[in-house]
Amino acid sequence: MIINFIRHGMTEGNKSKKYIGITDEVLCDEGIHELKKIKYPDCSILVSSPMKRCKQTAEIIYPGKNYRICEEFRECSFGIFEGKNYTELSDTPEYQKWIESNGKDRFPGGDDPFEFRRRCTEGFIKLIDSCQDDEVISLVVHGGVIMSVMETLAFPGKDFYEWHVSNGHGYVTRFYKGKFADKNKKNCHLTVISMI
């Protein structure tokens, strides 16, 4: 099974390097223009986050193709950091505390990063269980969703932040279906074939 992970195109918030999670932004003109310059792999199944920026991206890169919505692929809530960038938050004690936790603490007023990662991975597993082994699936999702699934299932493993990709880009992967509970990832894992 081939899984294409594609991060949505750029929004105004992305341009300003803001924490954009539950804010339902659309793509900016620059983001739309950039998507049209990239060659995307074909797919037999197209899946999107329910958020506007992902649905809009899916419609641009796969025009006329029907897509499924996966609620579990919704971006996380950044709480009081939502809509702000590093510069705006740098003097905020809550932000400093969160940075000192290496991003492991709950976002103040928002989601717990580990619960978010678990939700994304469970959504991925549920989706994969509904597909055939010979399918080619494109997921148009958020950067955090990609990082969550790749950190959990990619082999060889890397840290969450090492799986970061730019807007409109991502990974072409091969998924080896097996026992999801295998913590050694020997029976169930993703391997990267190429970058998008």
Taking only the tens place, the pLDDT of each residue in 129-155 is 999 989 999 999 999 999 999 999 998
Quote the Cα angle for 66-54-83, to 5°. 160
- What average pLDDT does this structure show over 12-17? 96
Tokens at 103, concatenated = 């991003």
Cα torsion through 174, 43, 6, 68, rounded to 10: -110
- What average pLDDT does this structure show over 160-188? 78
**Among 36, 47, 50, 37, residue whose Cα is nearest residue 5:** 47
Mean pLDDT estimate for the chain: 93
- Give the pLDDT confidence score for residue 177 in this predicted structure: 72
CA-CA distance, 95 to 86, in Å (whole number)? Answer: 9
Helix (H) or strand (E) holding 149: helix 143-153
Q: Which SS3 state, helix, strand or coil, does residue 90 take?
A: coil
Tokens at 50, concatenated = 């329910």
Identify the weakest region by mean pLDDT among 33-47, 60-74, 102-116, 166-180. Answer: 166-180
- Give the pLDDT confidence score for residue 178 in this predicted structure: 63
* pLDDT for residue 182 is more than 60: no
Q: Tell me: domain 11-142, CATH 1.10.287.70, correct?
A: no
pLDDT in tens, 153-171: 998 889 999 999 999 999 9
Look up residue 82 and give its DSSP letter: B
CA-CA distance, 73 to 174, in Å (whole number)? Answer: 20
- Give the pLDDT confidence score for residue 137 in this predicted structure: 98
Q: Are strands 136-141 and 2-7 parallel, antiparallel or unpaired?
A: parallel
